[in-house]
Amino acid sequence: MIRHLPALLVIVPLLTALTVSALSWVAPRLCLPLTFGCIGASLASSIGILVEVIKSGPVVYTMGGWSAPVGIVYVIDYLSAPVLVVVTAVALINLIASSKQIDRDFSDKKGTFYTLYILFVTGMVGIVATGDAFNLYVLLEIAALTGYSLIGIGHERAPLSSLNYLFIGTIGASFYLLGVGYLYIATGSLNMADLARFMAMPEHGTSTMVMFAFIICMTGLFIKMGLFPLHGWLPNAYSYASPASSALVAPLTTKVMIYAMIRVGLYVFTPAYVFGRLQVGGAMVWIAVAAIVFGSLLALAQKSLFKMLTYIVIAEVGYMVGGFFLGNRMGITGSALHIINDAAMTLCLFLAAGAITYRTKSDDFKDLKGLFHQMPFTMTAFTVGALAVIGVPPTCGFFSKWYLIIGGIQAGHYGYAAALIFSSLVNAVLFFRIFETAYFDQPGDGKGHHHGHHKHHKHKNKMVEAPVSMIVPLMITALGLIALGIYTGDIVTHVIQAAIPGGIA
């Protein structure tokens, strides 16, 4: 049983998705418990695999007993095991938090929603677990297609934003596929470990075809992760989607794509090629700097909460891409650590924003007045998430940013270090502006007739907290941000250091 866990991680949700879809016709009440059980089991098995990996090294599973270059293998190593836990944990927490929202917004489409939800998790888990370059493409599309649907199922402008996302996302995935095609022509293999072995041969190290494959593969992944200036699809897709979908898609898609970039960079094209021969690092870090600066500045220009958060996501993508292309141990450590931390931070902020819009029906800044009094628990969790994004210790955001800045300085890339500090300052401005509105302004201010006739101060500040099923997961996430910060040392020494191949200084 334990031996088959890597395969079960993908197969169980896939079959459960079908079951849920069928159940929605006969017993719609059972959809949620089944989804919950399935994702809970996935989380439990990911944790089991993580423990196994820490204890006795990477787990390799050969599908159907066909061994490596011919068959498809699933490889859970030090890099993928923690990301697996993050993916399943985010999915589970968001499922609990959004069940009320799903009931309210999609009462007639609940079965469909849960089916898509599980399929999305299947795709994400598969991307993380697979050790085959083409298999990664297929799972990428499974995750992407369900992602489009989860976004498009929303109301108002959601379908239009989702269709635009679909166009851009398809171009991105197709580019990745094209890159894999050229790599296959050059080497004749699709297995990642096998490809890395071929890359060590001098004829592939100098081949133009391999260089083209690298460029086009990476461009595809950059489009998928929304790296500036390829981010156009991201803000609308994530801000017009239902909060139940965006709190799942926003923390996972970009982060898992960055995982895929690190996987392809380190374990397919190998560091010796990417950082040694191609010398693309410097240019890529400057693009990342642009992403950080523009993401932060555009976030500053927004007037609503979700839009602002989406631009923060774009800036964070810049952090991780820059950290990876610094090409030193510190930078890549920071980048990998930030995948975990940023998924948790984004989840926390999106859940809080979801809880706010669940009550206020609006995420416009002017409707956030007095929220600290009305929704104290939500706003406390929001504050923790905001502090993590700003990078205040002991929240986890501080530690990954620390590794990234040290990496930038070690690599002599001061522009990158400066961009990180600049972005932290902008984030501080962004969030303290919200805190000010939400703490000091009264809900009635400037809105006139809505609350104007309530003379009593007390009445205005009545608590209208979100339902318990939203608050508890949100609080767990907020505490998780602090716990991740406190245990950073352990995560880095036991897991992430082992994930980075030797030879990177």
For other proteins, give the closer residue by CB, 185 or 425: 185
If the CB atoms of residues 160 and 283 are measured against other proteins, the closer one turns out to be 160
Q: How far apart are CA 52 and CA 49, in angstroms?
A: 5
Please answer whether residues 136 and 127 qualify as being in contact, where contact means their C-beta atoms are separated by less than 8 angstroms: yes
Asked if 177 and 169 count as a contact pair (C-beta separation under 8 A), the reply is: no
Exposure class string for 421-455: b at 16+ Cβ within 10 A, else e = ebbbebbbebbeebbebbbebebbeeeeeeeeeee
Q: Which is nearer to other proteins, 362 or 497 (CB)?
A: 362
CB of 241 to other proteins, least distance (A): 13
Interatomic CA distance for residues 465 and 377, integer angstroms:
7
Q: Which is nearer to other proteins, 172 or 295 (CB)?
A: 172
- Nearest to other proteins of 124, 288 (CB atom): 124
Q: How far is the CB of 119 from other proteins (least distance, A)?
A: 11
- Cβ of residue 188: shortest distance to other proteins, in angstroms? 9
* Shortest Cβ 167–other proteins spacing (Å): 6
User: What's the Cα-to-Cα distance from 63 to each of 67, 68, 122, rounded to whole Å?
Assistant: 8, 9, 16
Nearer of residues 181 and 394 to other proteins, judged by Cβ: 181
The structure tokens listed for 448 are 């006139």
Q: What is the rounded (10 degree) CA torsion for 471, 474, 479, 483?
A: 150
Minimum Å gap between C-beta 463 and other proteins is 29
Comparison of 78 and 148: residue with beta carbon closer to other proteins:
148
Phi and psi based region of residue 370 (left: phi greater than 0; alpha: psi -120 to 50; beta: remaining): left
Least Å distance, CB 227 to other proteins, is 19
Of the two residues 2 and 160, which places its CB atom closer to other proteins in the complex?
Answer: 160
**Phi, psi angles (nearest 5°) of residue 325:** -80, -5
Nearer to other proteins, 186 or 426 (CB): 186
Q: How many residues are listed for the chain in this entry?
A: 505
Check if the beta carbon of residue 341 is closer than 8 Å to that of residue 396. yes
Closest CB to other proteins among residues 33, 446: 446
In whole angstroms, the minimum distance from the beta carbon of 20 to other proteins comes to: 18
Residues in Cβ contact with 272 at an 8 Å cutoff, skipping those fewer than 6 apart: 199, 200, 205, 503
Question: What is d(CA 276, CA 361) in angstroms, rounded to the nearest whole number?
Answer: 52
Q: How far is the CB of 138 from other proteins (least distance, A)?
A: 6
Nearest to 82 by CA among 439, 339, 267, 281: 339
Residue 249 vs 481, nearer CB to other proteins:
249
Backbone torsion region of residue 109, taken as left when φ is above 0, otherwise alpha when ψ lies between -120 and 50, otherwise beta = alpha
Q: From the CB of 130, what's the least distance to other proteins, in Å?
A: 13
Q: Give start and end residues of each alpha helix (H) in 226-272.
A: 234-240, 243-267, 271
β-strand partners of 61? 74
Which residues form the interface with other proteins (CB under 8 A)? 134, 137-138, 141, 145, 148-149, 152, 157, 159-160, 162-163, 166-167, 170-171, 174, 177-178, 181, 184-185
CA atoms within 13 A on the CB side of 68: 11
The C-alpha atoms of residue 264 and residue 289 are separated, in whole angstroms, by 22
| CB 84 to other proteins: min, Å | 23
- Taken in order 388, 86, 225, 98, is the CA torsion positive or negative? negative
Least spacing, CB of residue 408 vs other proteins, in Å: 36
